[in-house]
Amino acid sequence: MQIWTCSPQAPDANQQFTLTTTPGSGSTSSGGDSVSIPITAGSATAVTGNLLALSIEQDRWLDWSGNATQNTFFFNCLDNIVEITGLPPQIRIGADSEDHTNFNPNVQGVQDQFPPPTTTVPYPEASSIVAGPGFYQPVLWLIPRFPGTGVTWGVNFGGANLTAVFLETQAIVTAFASSAFTQAGITLDNLELGNEADLYSGNGLRASTYTVQQYTPQWITYATNLTNTAKLSSSHTRLWGGAFAGSSHTTTGFSPQGIFANGILNSVPGAFIKTISQHHYSGSFCTGSESLLQDLMTKATIRSNLSSFTPDIEAVHAQGLNYVFGETNSYSCHGAPGVSNTAGAALWTLDYALYASQIGATQVYFHEGIGYKVGDYFTIQPLTLTRSTLDGSTLATPQAPHIQPQYYAAIIIAEAIGDSGDTQVAELSISDTRLSGYAFYESGSLKRAIFINSLAYLTTTTTARPSTHVNLSFSGSGTAPTSFSVKRLRINHADDVSGLTWGGQTYETSDARVSGTLTTESGTVAGGIDIPATQTVMLSFN
C-alpha cells in the first residue's frame, strides 16, 4: 500500500563512465573502487516511464478516485508523473479485498463491512464488499486528459462462487466498454482472478490441504466462465496469472513453474494469460526500529530478496510472457511504523524498483491502502484521516491528504527515465556495500546516472554525517562528457517522515503540486561528486 508524488521538471542525460568510491561506511577518501561504464548502452535493459505502477486495495477504491466528485489530490499525484514521462501509471485494483467482493446491481456505489481497528492495523481491510455499477465509473477521474491509462481489475476467486465471478466480470466489462471509457482512452488491460491463492489454505477460503494441483484445474474452470463473460477473444483485455504471495520455485508447489507444469497455459483461458504476477514484501513486522530501517535500505538485502525470484522470472520469460511484481512493498502488516513511512524507505523504493528492472520485471506495483503506514512510488494518503496510522489512536487534529517520503522515489525514477520512449537502464558495478548506481541511456547514449547512498543517518546518530566521494571516468567508444549538473534528494535523517526536498523543491503541499525554486549544482567529471549518507543524487551529463 504505497503512494507517490512527482515533479514536472526532469533533467536529461545518458552515457557511461567509471567511478571510484570509498567502500564500507562511505567516509570521504581519495582511494576506493573503480567502476567502468561504457558510453553506449550495450545490453542495458529497456525500461518504460511506467515502470512504477500502483496497486490499490479494492475495498476503499472510491476514496482514491473520489466518489461523488474527483479526488483532486490523488489526481494531481498521478498527473505529476504524466507531466514528466508522458505516460500515465498503470493501476491494479484488487488485492486481499478482491476475494471478498461481490456484485449487486441494486447497490449504487459500494457497501463495506470493516472489522474494528487495532493498534497494529488502524485501518483494517473490509471483510465484505458489495459493489454496484457506480463502483467502476470513477476510473474516469484518474487521468481524463491523457489517454492510455491501463487498469488491471481483480475478481473474486476466493469465494468459490461461479455466479459471483460472472456478475462481477460482467459489471467490470460493461463499465469499460461504455462510450465514456472508450472516449477517455482508458482500457481494461487485464483481469486477475483471485489474490494470493497460496494462502487460501490458511485463511479459511480453501481446505488446509489445498495444493497447486487442485488450484490449477479450479482456476481453469472459473477463468473459462470469466473469459466467456468478458468475450476476451474479441477484446483488448487479457489475464494475469499467478498473483501468489510467495513461491516454491518448483513445479510441485505454488509458483509459475507449478501452474505451468499443471497445464494452465494449455487451457482455453490460459491462452489469454500474457503476464505472470507475483507478490513480494521484504518481511512482516508490526513494530519498527532503527535497525530494521537500515536492514530495509541495505543494498545486499534488496538484491537477495529480489534475486530469489530469478528462477521464476526465467521460467516466465521462457514461455514468452511478461513478468511483473503485481503487489509489493516494504513490510506486510500494512508496513512497520518508523520504517515504512520514513525517508529511508524512499531510498529503498528507488533502489528496489530499479533493481527489479534489472532481473526482468517489466513493472513494479507498489501496494496502497487508506491509512496504511507504508508507501512507495505512489506514497500518498489520499484523504483526511481521523485516526493515527501508527497506533489507531484518535487524532486531536485530523490529518489532511498528504504525500509520504516514498513519493519522491517515484519522481526521481520518472525523471531518470524521461519521456523519450527509448530509454535503457543498467546497474553499475560498485563494491561499496552502501552505494548503488544506475546509468540511463536514450537511443543508446548515456544521459543520466543515479547514485544512492543507503547508509542510514538517524536522528539518534551522534557522530558526524559520513559522505562518499565518487570519482567519475568513462570507457568505450564515443565522446565522454566532461561536466554534469547535479540534482539532490536532501534528507535530514533516515527516520524522518517529512522535510525532504528534491532539487530544492517539495511535494509536501496541500495539493500535491511541486513548490519552491529548482536548485541544481554544476560539476566536472574530473572533480567527481560527494554523496552524504542517506542521500541520492542524479547526474545529468552535458
Q: Which phi and psi angles does 470 have, rounded to 5°?
A: -115, 120
Report how far apart, in Å, the C-alpha atoms of 534 and of each of 267, 304, 402, 424 are: 50, 21, 22, 26
Strand, helix or coil at 38? strand
Please name the residue that has the C-alpha cell 487524532: 395
Please name the residue that has the C-alpha cell 520512449: 421
User: How far is it, in rounded angstroms, from Cα 141 to Cα 173?
Assistant: 18
CA 407 to mean position of chain CA atoms: 10
Neighbour-count burial of 438, counting CB atoms closer than 10 A to its CB (0-12 exposed, 13-18 middle, 19+ buried)? buried
CA 211 to mean position of chain CA atoms: 29
pTM (2 d.p.): 0.91
**Grid cell in block for residue 249:** 520455485
Contact 25, 457 (CB under 8 A): no
User: How far is it, in rounded angstroms, from Cα 69 to Cα 297?
Assistant: 38
Contact 470, 528 (CB under 8 A): yes
For CA atoms 326, 329, 331, 337, the dihedral sign is negative
In sequence order, which ranges of 151-194 are alpha helices (DSSP H)? Answer: 162-177, 179-184
Contact 485, 448 (CB under 8 A): no
DSSP letter at 148? -
**Grid cell in block for residue 496:** 524522518
User: How far is it, in rounded angstroms, from Cα 77 to Cα 246?
Assistant: 30
* Ramachandran category for residue 361: left, alpha or beta (phi over 0 → left; psi -120 to 50 → alpha): beta
pLDDT per residue as tens, the chain (542 positions)? 222 223 333 333 333 333 433 333 334 433 444 657 779 999 999 999 999 999 999 999 999 999 889 999 999 999 999 999 999 889 999 999 999 999 999 998 899 999 998 877 788 889 999 999 999 988 888 765 666 678 999 999 999 999 999 999 999 999 999 998 888 888 899 999 999 999 999 999 999 999 999 999 999 999 999 999 999 998 999 999 999 999 999 999 999 999 999 999 999 999 999 999 999 987 655 444 445 777 788 899 999 999 999 999 999 999 999 999 999 987 555 455 566 678 988 999 999 999 999 999 999 999 888 866 543 334 788 989 888 877 788 999 998 999 989 999 999 999 999 999 999 999 998 989 999 999 999 999 999 999 999 999 999 999 999 999 998 889 888 999 999 999 999 999 999 989 999 999 999 999 999 999 999 999 999 889 999 999 999 999 98
User: How far is it, in rounded angstroms, from Cα 111 to Cα 126?
Assistant: 10
User: How far is it, in rounded angstroms, from Cα 304 to Cα 313?
Assistant: 15
DSSP letter at 166? H
One DSSP character per residue, 386-433 reads EE-TTT-PEEEEEEPPEE-TTHHHHHHHHHHH-SSS-EEEEE-----T
Residue type, 432: D
Question: Which pLDDT score is estimated for 121?
Answer: 76
Question: Which pLDDT score is estimated for 219?
Answer: 98
User: How far is it, in rounded angstroms, from Cα 263 to Cα 340?
Assistant: 39
Question: Which pLDDT score is estimated for 282?
Answer: 77
Neighbour-count burial of 365, counting CB atoms closer than 10 A to its CB (0-12 exposed, 13-18 middle, 19+ buried)? buried
Domains within the chain, CATH numbers bracketed: 18-46+417-541 (2.60.40.1180), 48-71+80-374 (3.20.20.80)
Report how far apart, in Å, the C-alpha atoms of 528 and of each of 293, 454, 468, 523, 524 are: 29, 19, 11, 7, 6
User: How far is it, in rounded angstroms, from Cα 87 to Cα 513?
Assistant: 18
Report the b/e string of 9-27 with b at 16+ CB within 10 A: bbbbbbbbbbbbbbbeebe
Q: Which phi and psi angles does 530 have, rounded to 5°?
A: -100, 135
Question: Which pLDDT score is estimated for 143?
Answer: 64
Neighbour-count burial of 235, counting CB atoms closer than 10 A to its CB (0-12 exposed, 13-18 middle, 19+ buried)? middle
Question: Which pLDDT score is estimated for 336?
Answer: 53
Counting Cα atoms < 13 Å in the Cβ hemisphere of 160 gives 10
Strand, helix or coil at 515? strand
Closest Cα partner for 374 from 346, 352, 397?
A: 346
Q: For residue 243, what is the enclosing H or E element?
A: strand 238-244
Report how far apart, in Å, the C-alpha atoms of 360 and of each of 14, 276, 311, 417, 534 are: 21, 12, 11, 17, 27
